[in-house]
Chain A
Amino acid sequence: DVQVTQSPSSLSASVGDSVTMSCRTSERVSNFFNWYQQKPGRAPKLLIYAASTLQSGVPARFSGSGSGTDFTLTISSLQPEDFAVYFCQQTYITPPYTFGHGTKLEIK
């Protein structure tokens, strides 16, 4: 099974900052890679799919990049509503479609 290592586990930043978080897969997954945001008590919300495609309705301050084994999510000009937990996921070929362990983005 493909393993996903996400870093950092937590991140502290201020409103207006730009932040980047990363994931690495144990095998090459092309761009079968997604990012989700989760707020407390809520279901995950799709942000980015196919490594770099912004889901409809998601603000353009979110961007994804990478291919193969290394992927990043960047949030520019952080807004108060962006403080949440972010999960990455690989969906290469067939399940299991593993998730990273999450990055908790906290207000500094």
Chain B
Amino acid sequence: QVQLVESGGGVVQPGRSLRLSCAASGFSFSSHGMHWVRQAPGKGLEWVAATSSDGSLRFYVDSLRGRVAVSRDNSKNTLFLQINNVGAEDTAVYYCARENVGHTSTWFDLWGQGALVTVTS
């Protein structure tokens, strides 16, 4: 079954770190760039981070630069996201998404179910 499954969500105290995982199955994980997108409660989608298919390239949203790290383990078909020194503004549902690329565009054609992270003391 082609799917992405996030894990690692839950309650995180302010100032601590959050670490999420995204397990891929049913497709060639190492052939695709992968992304993290988050959605604060009642808000829109915010693109957060991305990694190329081999993990050599990493991209981050400016607002998180310095606090965020994306990585992947292609041997385990798993994508990771770590955000350090979290605050209330990091409370959100975090989605991982698969990138697909054509001649004339790039799109996210497979999404995980999302992992809710709540930052609270």
Contact = CB atoms under 8 A, between A and B. Distances in A.
A32 B105 contact: yes
B102 A50 contact: yes
A33 interface: yes
Contacts of B102: 49-50
Contacts, number: 73
A32 B106 contact: yes
A7 B45 CA distance: 15
Interface in B26-60: 35, 37, 44-47, 50, 59
* Chain B contact patch, size range: 20 to 34
Given A50-B102, A96-B62, A102-B44, A91 B111 contact: no
A23 B54 CA distance: 32
Nearest to B61: A96
B45 A45 contact: no
Give the interface SS of chain A, mostly helix, strand, loop or mixed.
loop
A10 to B, nearest CB: 13
Nearest to A44: B111
Interface residues of A, number: 29
Contact of B45 (A1, A44, A53, A95): A44
Given A95-B50, A96-B59, A98-B47, A49 B111 contact: no
Contacts of B59: 94-96
Contacts of A44: 37, 45, 95, 108, 111
Contacts of B95: 43-44
A91 B105 contact: yes
A87 B111 contact: no
A97 B44 contact: no
A38 B106 CA distance: 19
A22 B47 CA distance: 20
Contacts of A51: 105
Interface in A16-53: 30-34, 36, 38, 43-46, 49-51, 53
Interface of B: 35, 37, 44-47, 50, 59, 61-62, 95, 100, 102, 104-109, 111-114
